[in-house]
Amino acid sequence: MKIEHTEVLWMDQYQKLSFTDLAKLSGLSEEVLTELVNYEAIVPIEIDAEKQTFDASCLAIAKTACRLQNDFGLDTHGLAVTLTLLARIQDLETQLHDLRMQLPRQI
């Protein structure tokens, strides 16, 4: 029998995370996180700020990157491309949902 440990973290959508906290909570190394920020796969709240802060949605993206890295052994460039494509898919699904809601209901 395999027992899997799952960690749950309740985040407010308006909560801000420091660079160090994001790295620690996501499981990514600071080097990988820096590269993902440089590739703009993870975007801080203020790009030019001395100390970068991130909104709560970046934690989900960073955790996804960590899982992709662990499961598939992707390098940071591969992670950045994959994260960008996943974000694009999500945007397109949202647009499709919105368009479907505009159609007249069929009974």
Find residue 53's DSSP bridge partners.
Answer: 18
Q: What angle do CA 47, 58, 35 make, to 5 degrees?
A: 60
pTM of this prediction? 0.80
pLDDT attached to residue 9: 57
Which CATH code fits 16-102? 1.10.1660.10
Asked whether residue 10 carries a pLDDT value surpassing 80, the answer given is: no
Is residue 52 pLDDT above 80, yes or no?
A: yes
Q: How many whole angstroms separate alpha carbon 46 and alpha carbon 38? A: 13
pLDDT given at position 104: 87
Tell me, what's the pLDDT at 63? 96
Q: What is the pLDDT of residue 11?
A: 60
The residue behind tokens 């499709």 is 96
Would you say residue 49 has pLDDT above 90? no
How does pLDDT run across 68-105, given as a tens digit for each residue?
Answer: 999 999 999 999 999 999 999 999 999 999 999 998 88
How far are the Cα atoms of 23, 52, 105 from residue 59, in angstroms, in the given order?
Answer: 9, 14, 37
Residue 104 phi/psi, 5-degree rounding, is: -65, 145
